[in-house]
Amino acid sequence: AGLALGLIAVAPYLPPPYAKLLFVSVWMTFAVALFKLNARGRDRRVYKSALESDQALNDSMTEHGSDDEQKDTKVELTPDEKKQKQKRCIVLFFTGIFGGLCSAVAGSGIDIASFSILTLFYRVSEKVATPTSVVLMAINAILGMCFRFMGLGGAYSEGQEIAVWNFVSVCVPIVVLGAPLGATISARLPRHWLAYLIYFLDTVQFVSALVVILPWSK
């Protein structure tokens, strides 16, 4: 929904320099927030999923006996768990909308949106959030191509359509090899090394965009 809305109502009216600045600014904001979060404690607790994060929160808020007793006797969700599930669904829904809008404008966005909400809000490990965001971005990219060829955001001219397929033919082998390779490497690297790499790449990306676009001269 966010992708389609962005293609129709946002991307056609946003100048390319602003789209690029939006993209790098979102990434840089995330890097700063992640740095501040990790700076609070190098060994802060992280989780393997948003569900595990919610369960840990419920466990810290309620005491209904030992963990073993809860696992053996719990048949249905408690009211607190139902609220957490509803909250998680709402948060992830609006994250998808925002990520789709960013993807429509800059070509990438659902990956950083999902990565940000998982690591900052749910405190999911960067090693888990990375392959998750890669898969979501791959699905989003395919949907984006389908929407554009359906005419959302304006129809391609004949020359533009050929250029799009040329770009796709160049990107496919890189993505097919690079995405699983990157996900594999990130899964094997220590979590802090991956965070340091994110800080460095986001900073270089942001500074490079400012040097190329020169927004203060517009």
Q: Please give the pLDDT value at position 54.
A: 67
Tell me how far CA of residue 1 lies from CA of 6, 103, 115, 183, in angstroms.
8, 11, 19, 27
CA–CA dist 92, 114 (Å, integer): 8
- Place 204 in a pLDDT band, splitting at 50, 70 and 90: very high
- Place 207 in a pLDDT band, splitting at 50, 70 and 90: very high
**What pTM was estimated for this model as a whole?**
0.71
DSSP 119: I
Q: Please give the pLDDT value at position 146.
A: 84
Q: DSSP H helical segments within 48-190, as ranges?
A: 50-61, 67-73, 79-106, 110-116, 126-149, 158-188
Tell me how far CA of residue 152 lies from CA of 16, 102, 108, 132, in angstroms.
18, 15, 17, 27
Q: Please give the pLDDT value at position 61.
A: 56
CA–CA dist 98, 82 (Å, integer): 25
**Has residue 98 got a pLDDT over 70?**
yes
**Has residue 63 got a pLDDT over 60?**
no
Q: Please give the pLDDT value at position 121.
A: 82
Environment class of 170 (CB within 10 Å of its CB; exposed 0-12, middle 13-18, buried 19+): exposed
**Has residue 124 got a pLDDT over 60?**
yes
Please give the distance of CA 80 from its chain centroid, rounded to a whole number.
27
Mean of the per-residue pLDDT values for the chain?
A: 78
Nearest to 104 by CA among 161, 171, 152, 162: 152
**Has residue 68 got a pLDDT over 60?**
no
The string of pLDDT tens digits covering residues 127-170 is 788 778 888 888 888 888 888 888 777 777 777 778 888 888 88
Q: What angle do CA 153, 26, 10 make, to 5 degrees?
A: 20
The string of pLDDT tens digits covering residues 19-42 is 888 888 888 888 888 888 778 766
